[in-house]
Amino acid sequence: MRALVTGGAGFIGANLAGRLARDGHGVTVLDNLQSGFRSNLDPWPQIKFIEGDIRDPAAVAEAIAGAEVVFHLAASVGNKRSIDNPVSDSEINVLGTVRVLEEARRTGVRKIVTSSSAGIFGELKHIPIAEDHPLDPDTPYGCSKLCCEKLCLSYAKLYRLEAVCLRYFNVYGPLQRFDAYGNVIPIFVFQMLRGQELTIHGDGDQTRDFVNVSDVVQANLKAAATTGVSGAFNIGSGTVITINRLVEMLRDVSGSEVRFRHGPPRPGDVRDSKADITAARQKLGFVPGVPLGEGLAAYLAWARQEASGHQGPKAIIRQH
């Protein structure tokens, strides 16, 4: 398989590109390195890397040439980032996706697998969340990702192109660096390693569905391999944990005392979240395989090496 991974130097993208390369597929990565790291791809010299932006039609055309499958992960990610920079969020997520879709259509790409988000649901009406849950995003990020989904699925209806949109819940794992806009797990882990006090936004009883990046990689590969299927699918663990319990688990895994305080809730954050992954299991064969405790231990080991500045493992990906 010849594959293009947009955003392939980022956290999820580099894990996916590395797995594809390890499995013997031809891989091209397109990334502008605004949030990705060229070093994430160092273990895989066979990957063709193109530094460029998905909003640039020339860069997209160069990257997509010869691709059978496009894994579209390049995006401006996160509710808070979109609240602070709504124009940039839409330019990257919406216009960038149109550029990728147009070139995919023009060159005869067989399938596009697009990274979406549980942010498209907004404040939840019921738990667990199936794909038919009302779509009522309450941040620019949720709106832009929903627009990306609709664009991809409309192209699948209009043209000879299959499209699968994977709605990620809270993804974590190796290569995920500290980002104040990002997932609570890297924020907490890197603050712990620096000896800093953690801030739990709200009472800490809010729930999250954390899914390991190796399971997300698995979902992408199964989506690409499944023929005759277009649609949107939830990708999570199907389990939940409170933020208070997460802090306890990090303390247990690290063997260190963890100082924390409670602060005000973050704008745009939902109270509870849990994915119903029945459709992905039935249509794609997706079965998450990394328990949270195991995944946290592996991530903490990677983060310690990253924080120390030593060359450690670039990715830890379970076989499925």
Per-residue burial over 228-247, b = 16 or more CB atoms within 10 Å of its CB, e = otherwise: ebbbbbbbbbbbbbbbeebb
Other Cβ atoms closer than 10 A to 54: 26
Judge whether 141 counts as a catalytic residue: yes
DSSP string, 78-120: -HHHHHH-HHHHHIIIIIHHHHHHHHHHHHT-SEEEEEEEGGG
Which 8-state DSSP code applies to residue 266? P
Neighbouring residues of 292: CB distance < 8 A, sequence distance ≥ 6: 210, 212, 237, 239, 241, 249
Which 8-state DSSP code applies to residue 213? H
Angle between helices 243-254 and 184-193 (to 10 degrees): 40
State the Cα–Cα distance between residues 80 and 96, nearest whole angstrom: 20
State the Cα–Cα distance between residues 12 and 176, nearest whole angstrom: 8
Q: 107 to each of 28, 32, 57, 61, how far by Cα in Å?
A: 15, 22, 13, 9
Give the active site residue among 141, 168, 172, 299. Answer: 141
Would you name the residues annotated as active-site residues? 141
